[in-house]
Amino acid sequence: MPVVTVYLSRLIGIVSLIVAAAMLADKATVVTAVEHLGQDRTALLLLGTFRVVAGAAIVLIHNVWTRGFWPLVVTLTGWALLVRGVINLFLPPEVMSGLFAQTQIVDFYYLYASIPLMLGAYLTLRGFSATAAPFETVLPPPNPGR
């Protein structure tokens, strides 16, 4: 598997596991933070900027759609971050508050916490059990004529 897929799988996997553990450890704080986030335009701008940067980086480095399920999950994670970041940047706080209310975070909290847990477990397992291709097979050969 290409080095970039292995690296991104490890990175996204570990970060997702940490986020899931934090969600499972302190439900009350996470629910309060999510409820307040929709009302705070400054926080939405910062979160949106972070998501756009992270998502665009993943999409630009790893926009792979044809090499199987594992690389597809990495690519879709990048696109999801990018789209959610753009939504955070451009939707008004009132709309974001309404979206947060419609997701019924309190009622389905453990379902929402299971998403990063499953994503993180899958990508961490795949990333750390894979053998990465050497850089020579991933990078193009140097052009000696220049």
Nearest to 87 by CA among 44, 32, 33, 58: 44
Stated as kind and residue range, the H or E segment containing 44 is: helix 41-61
Question: Could you read off the pLDDT of 112-128 as tens digits, one per residue?
Answer: 999 999 999 999 999 99
Please give the Cα distance from 128 to 49 (Å, whole number): 29
**Residue length of the chain:** 146
Element (H, E) at 104: none
Task: Output the pLDDT for position 97.
Answer: 80
Name the CA radius of gyration of the chain, rounded: 18
Q: Is the pLDDT of residue 136 over 60?
A: no
- Exposure letters 39-77 (e unless 16+ CB within 10 A, then b): eeeeebeebbeebbebbbebeeebebeeeeebbebbbeb
Distance CA 96, CA 122 (A): 30
Query: Mean pLDDT, to the nearest integer, of 34-43?
Result: 84
